[in-house]
Structure 1
């Protein structure tokens, strides 16, 4: 019983001491860096002309998913000409900032 309580208290302490997923990004800096994102991703029902597909809303999306997607566009693992062009210009800090801001929005 004592070991269980000790383990539980250590886990709680570790969880409280661990930085949040959003700690890596600056939400205010991300807000300023997303000015071009809203042109497509902020328009309800928007479809891209070429190739023709639905452009997803990214507000409120999972932080880790946004980071992964932006990194994949940056490296070319995800293939979309417009997103690749945006991704190539982003630093790791830019990606964290943008993901922190977008993840904190209400969809």
Structure 2
């Protein structure tokens, strides 16, 4: 019984991990569809405004969490308030978010600490 329970838990965990990882190619298409580059730059490392984040190379779970927070909005627990991003994020499905996060994470990063 313990082996069966352990195996079922392991398989469901692996299944979730594969699903939660997102699809890089689908993320690339979704990022184009939702025009992310218009604010975050063509390579997602040179935003049009210095207050906008560089997205290339960010951790996928961070990007996904941020997009979900924009969906919740500033009034909800752990939400983020930004009118532009709230509008953009509300149009995303959970799978879009996972795919975009996987794509942005796969890109070369210019996130470097300067000494």
TM-score, normalising length: structure 2: 0.66
Which structure 2 residues correspond to residues 55-66 of structure 1 after superposition, within 5 A?
55-66=52-63
Which 5+ residue runs of structure 1 have no aligned equivalent? 1-13, 48-52
Q: Which residue of structure 1 lines up, in the alignment, with residue 39 of structure 2?
A: 40
Q: Which has the higher contact order (CA 8 A, sep 6+)?
A: 1
Question: Which of the residues 17, 30, 33 maps onto 2:27?
Answer: 30
Structure of higher CA gyration radius: 1
Q: Aligned partners of 2:38 and 2:17: how far apart in 1?
A: 26
**Deviation sequence 1:5-56 (CA, Å, 0-9, x none):** xxxxxxxxx7xx9479675211111000112111111262522xxxxx6111
TM-score, normalising length: structure 1: 0.71
Distance change >3 Å, CA 42–CA 19, structure 1 → 2: farther
Assess if the C-alpha contact under 8 Å between 2:39 and 2:47 holds in 1: no
The alignment partner of 1:54 has SS state of coil
1:80 counterpart = 2:82: yes
Distance change >3 Å, CA 19–CA 57, structure 1 → 2: farther
Q: Aligned partners of 2:96 and 2:82: how far apart in 1?
A: 19
Q: Which residue of structure 2 lines up, in the alignment, with residue 5 of structure 1?
A: none
